[in-house]
Structure 1
């Protein structure tokens, strides 16, 4: 079986990039790198396969490295756009993780403050969030210069306690809250709660925005950053 690194080099594994934009102006301020495979169209299937073969750590680290490499080797990325890259908690607590991060710092040091490590949630990895080493590694990553984001807040295992302990730079609200936001007063109340919390702390990103009326509602509530098909589907990197 080919190594995961070789599969990236041969473009069997690659990344699609989805824009993250300001609200309401829809100006691109960042991208999220989304892992893709030519053989497995569904990334969830891919991750399940590598879990079964104990290769999740290798895939997660190689995916992060090649996402950064692809993004910042383009001259169009000199405008200060951020890159959101997904990473699993189980990867962060691995004994080999600090050495891997050292390689990333060595190769991409000028861009560290533009790299946002987006922590993936998984019910199977819920216990890791409570391990002291996990919180310590998050602190170490921030001290190095990386930014931290929590993904799918409101849908996964993230609690307010975890948000307070981790103090992320970005909170990404699950797409559930953007769908029919304009007609759901309950969803509007929850989004307002996070807007208020993020006023002096994290930056709030509303995921899954697809309709103009939901975008307008989000803007009226105070959301300033969004992601979703309304801003652009995952694909090749776009120039300025």
Structure 2
């Protein structure tokens, strides 16, 4: 689909999209721990391009919240009792004036999501400046007070990532696929991953994304990574 000719207003208003879900694997119990929701359109549009166009058109908040609502709606009811649901959210959405009302409405419509949903904050370079605003940290506290968990997405071994973790300790930290690709062959990457799962960050749970080979999976487990995600484990799919 050519997003230049895609009517995002109609897509949002008429909910012309759906969600697929990818499992997060618990390495200690060898079972599914949670699922992450991904927005999909038919015909397929790259979600990164979809949200890029939404930002340019000034409807990023509307698309982001519509995607969150739909993920909750399409997540099988029985799954919430067994598996957490990870939903992606942009920093600009979190600090939007209407966001508290959106969250309160979501809880009214789906009471069962309390303590079962993880808001996974998108690590988009275009939105990095929002992290520095005091209002942003207040909104994270608001989400926690409402019974949600917080995850930082696509972090890497950089001072910026480490500072974000120390500034506001998330419940989950998802390490970018650059940390996992060829993990079995890179001592440097193994040291970086081991650093994140050390006692330095014992208050958070680490998720390593981008697991695509058995060798990388085995090394990640040896390093003590609690949760893994990637095509080798399972691709996103309808539930």
- State if a TM-score over 0.5 links the two structures: yes
Deviations 1:5-61 (A, max 9, x none): 4332xxx21111111111165411111001111144211111122112101010001
- 2:14 equivalent among 7, 12, 32: 7
Deviations 1:89-141 (A, max 9, x none): 00011111111111011112222211000000111111110000000000110
Secondary structure in 2 matching 1:113: coil
| Residue ranges of structure 2 left out of the alignment (5+ in a row) | 1-6
Q: Within 5 A, what are the aligned runs for 1:1-240?
A: 2-8=9-15, 12-23=16-27, 26-71=30-75, 74-154=76-156, 158-197=160-199, 200-237=202-239
| Residue ranges of structure 1 left out of the alignment (5+ in a row) | none
Secondary structure in 2 matching 1:233: coil
CA contact (8 A) 1:24 1:216 kept: no
TM-score relative to the length of structure 2: 0.91
When the two structures are aligned, how many residues end up with a matched partner?
232
Deviations 1:193-229 (A, max 9, x none): 0010466210010000011111111111111210001
Which is further off, 161-170 or 193-202?
193-202
CA contact (8 A) 2:171 2:205 kept: yes
Could you say if the C-alpha distance between residues 77 and 206 of structure 1 is closer, same or farther in structure 2, counting changes exceeding 3 Å? same
